[in-house]
Amino acid sequence: MSTRIKHEKLQAFVDEAAAMCGPDEVYVCDGSTGEYDRLMALMLESGSATPLKKRPNSVLFRSDPSDVARVEDRTYISTPDRADAGPTNNWVAPDELKATMKGLYRGCMKGRTMYVIPFSMGPIGSPIAKIGIEITDSPYVVCNMHIMTRVGTRVLEALGEDGEFIPCLHSIGAPLEPGQKDAAWPCAPIEKKYISHFPDENLIWSYGSGYGGNALLGKKCLALRIASAMARKEGWMAEHMLILRLTSPGGKQYHIAAAFPSACGKTNLAMLQCTVEGWKCETVGDDIAWMKIGPDGRLYAINPEAGFFGVAPGTSYDSNPMAMDTLHENIIFTNCALTDDGDIWWEGFDGPVPAHAIDWKGRDWTPGSTEVAAHPNARFTAPARQCPCICTDWEKPEGVPIDIFVFGGRRAGVVPLVNEAFSWDHGVFLGATASSETTAANIGSVGDLRRDPFAMKPFCGYNMADYFQHWLDMGDRLGDKAPRIFYVNWFRKSAAGKFLWPGFGENSRVLKWMCERIDGRAGARKTAIGLLPEEGALDLEGLDVPGENMKEILAVDTAAWKAEIPSLEKHFAQFGDRLPPRMKAQLEGLAKRLG
Ligand code: SAT
Ligand code: MN
């Protein structure tokens, strides 16, 4: 039984979508376990999902080989004025894009059910939360949304008869003719995929893909691209950041929000196991932070999501035991390999490599094969509440007060282990110029230097230069209550190509220094690029890192930094005169300090 809608505007959205897409049926989701089980049973029966004997209530999906990740070059920020999307976004005029997409949407749900998913990003009723309505023809999307967001009747109740919602329309773009057999993973070819955002109308239209951020519209589309544009208008922040709580041996809590480009260990940091004596880390969120200034003038953050959509390959008891212990039951795996005893497997999994498996394309796989068993972007969808180190306050409606912002990237050279910004403006400059070397997870040659400002390049729903200005404005409003800003690089390598810093749990030593800086208890030395830990200020007790390594990763190589200036100038030049003068002043200041 479909739930009844009592909201006129919502009913109109549903009616219009149904008239355009032409589904056989319309079903409004109630968010119940029964609903999840029914849809999952259908997908198990059709063969699009495979049950996993080893993990209760868990399944494996294999996507179409053409539909395995976000499609950035088919992702659009559609504003009436192209300049408002800025140089880092793809743009098509709203009228043109809508006309094209309406053509694709016409009759696209033929032979399928249209699901209406009321969802809340953030705990229902939180002053920071927002409600979205996703319309989709994919039961896989419905089940994933059940895990990743709060879904169903309780959201409709919160919406009432005239509450505000963000309409999100999604279709896999694969209508079914009568008698036509469905594909295991129906989707449209790449040239018909569109992930479109209309920030002026708070509207999302997605067509042709069933995978991750292309299809689970609450995540990157709503919680980052549309939310970032709303946040600017409304004076808050929507950031691509993990949130964690550190507690000192004395019981003092510190909250950290951190942004990293992909393949820099963000999920691992979110679930950090502290190696420094007496310190404890808890996870609030692993991907997105929504932050508002609270009544006391401090910045409060919520995790708008309810689950983790994590990269599977490389996740192990070595790299992230807390993630592994989240995955025992109630999980949707996508594009992982299947073992003969009914478990999942991926490259980097603990223990021996299976002698035989079924790879992500459904073929026999044996060790030594030239191809990987799990797709490099294979994923797990897991309820956050199952994480053993989930913070007791992770669903607190008012959020947690942020003390520290961290930016970072993967750099073999130049960038030291950690430095602290001199000021808010300098911190914004560090975020705006964040750089990382590409890995196998990115397109392009491995080791290329990329600038990914605030790790938001693929996710900022408006002109990135205006986004820098928004950060400056937020700092002005926060004044002396603003979080302190740090920049880290866990990935320094020796000339011989060996990592100089052990990373993982040992990164807690660096976080401890940050907390002590806040409290005025740890020393720093002023350098041209920022404030670095003074000799002896980093707690290295019980850590076996050679002194010369520490010296190298805490040194500032003036010549190497000077050589970065042209790349920084080029990066800023793309924003033309929209670049805030305060950012330009920061770059000039750096050049001057370097001499
Ligand atoms: O596929 S998602 O966009 O949800 C995940 C990611 O690419 O970071
Ligand atoms: Mn992300």
pLDDT in tens, 390-437: 999 999 999 999 999 999 999 999 999 999 999 999 999 999 999 999
Pocket of ligand 1 (CB under 6 A): 70, 212-213, 219-220, 309
Q: Is the pLDDT of residue 516 over 70?
A: yes
Q: How far apart are CA 487 and CA 272, in angstroms?
A: 18
pLDDT given for residue 549 in this prediction: 96
Distance 176 CA to ligand 2 centre (A): 33
Q: Among the options 264, 281, 387, 460, which is catalytic? A: 264
pLDDT given for residue 2 in this prediction: 78
Nearest CA to ligand 1 atom 3: 213
- Has 336 been annotated as catalytic? no
pLDDT band at 438 (very low <50, low <70, confident <90, very high): confident
pLDDT band at 446 (very low <50, low <70, confident <90, very high): low
Q: What is the pLDDT of residues 8-62, one digit of tens each?
A: 999 999 999 999 999 999 999 999 999 999 999 999 999 999 999 999 999 999 9
pLDDT given for residue 441 in this prediction: 53
Q: Which ligand ends up closest to the CA of 307?
A: 1
DSSP three-state, residue 541: coil
Q: How far apart are CA 469 and CA 570, in angstroms?
A: 19
Distance 394 CA to ligand 2 centre (A): 18
Mutating to test ligand 1, I would choose from 61, 63, 70 the residue with most ligand atoms within 8 A of its C-beta, which is 70
pLDDT given for residue 442 in this prediction: 55
What is the Cβ-side half-sphere exposure of residue 387, based on CA atoms within 13 angstroms?
31
Q: How far apart are CA 289 and CA 514, in angstroms?
A: 20
Q: What is the pLDDT of residues 254-284, one digit of tens each?
A: 999 999 988 898 999 999 999 999 999 999 9
Please state the rounded mean pLDDT for residues 371-385: 97
The minimum-distance atom of ligand 1 relative to the CA of 262 is 8
Q: How far apart are CA 221 and CA 195, in angstroms?
A: 8
Distance 221 CA to ligand 1 centre (A): 10
The minimum-distance atom of ligand 1 relative to the CA of 69 is 1
In this structure, the strands spanning 379-383 and 332-334 are antiparallel
DSSP three-state, residue 253: strand
pLDDT given for residue 313 in this prediction: 96
Q: Is the pLDDT of residue 89 over 80?
A: yes
Q: How far apart are CA 533 and CA 516, in angstroms?
A: 11
Q: Which ligand ends up closest to the CA of 67?
A: 1
pLDDT band at 445 (very low <50, low <70, confident <90, very high): low
How high is the mean pLDDT of the chain?
A: 96
Cα dist from 302 to 218, 239, 472, whole Å = 15, 11, 21
Distance 425 CA to ligand 1 centre (A): 29
Give the pTM.
0.97
Least confident of 354-368, 377-391, 434-448: 434-448
Q: Is the pLDDT of residue 365 over 90?
A: yes
Q: What is the pLDDT of residues 105-162, one digit of tens each?
A: 999 999 999 999 999 999 999 999 999 999 999 999 999 999 999 999 999 999 999 9
Nearest CA to ligand 1 atom 4: 213
Distance 544 CA to ligand 1 centre (A): 36
Mutating to test ligand 1, I would choose from 219, 286, 335, 439 the residue with most ligand atoms within 8 A of its C-beta, which is 219
